[in-house]
Amino acid sequence: LDRSTREIELGLEYGIPTMNLAGQSLKFENGQWVAESGSFTGDRREMQRLRKRNQQLEEENNLLRLKVDILLDMVS
């Protein structure tokens, strides 16, 4: 049953899924978890540090994938 039919026939009304994680309130909208406005309590330096670390890990991951591809080519 689609959502409107469930609500009419069964009387079920579901709200937007929300959760509280490490003091930050998140809600599920359009297929993604997003922070509720004004709920973020972290500081900018920590966010920048995490973004930089994320970028480093992505670059390392890309390098390792390249190495695996080269090794597979050498084997075949």
Domain ranges for the chain: 1-37, 38-75
What confidence score (pLDDT) does residue 19 get?
Answer: 85
18-28 pLDDT, tens digit each: 888 777 788 88
Torsion angle (degrees, nearest 10) of CA 6, 8, 11, 16: 60
Which are the contacts of 40, defined by CB distance < 8 A and separation ≥ 6?
Answer: 24
Which position has the higher pLDDT, 41 or 9? Answer: 9
Question: Can you point out the beta strands (E) in the chain?
Answer: 18-21, 24-29, 32-35
What confidence score (pLDDT) does residue 45 get?
Answer: 76
d(CA 64, CA 50): 21
What confidence score (pLDDT) does residue 71 get?
Answer: 96
27-75 pLDDT, tens digit each: 888 888 887 765 555 667 777 888 999 999 999 999 999 999 999 999 9
- 23 Rama sector, left if φ>0, alpha if ψ -120 to 50, beta otherwise: left
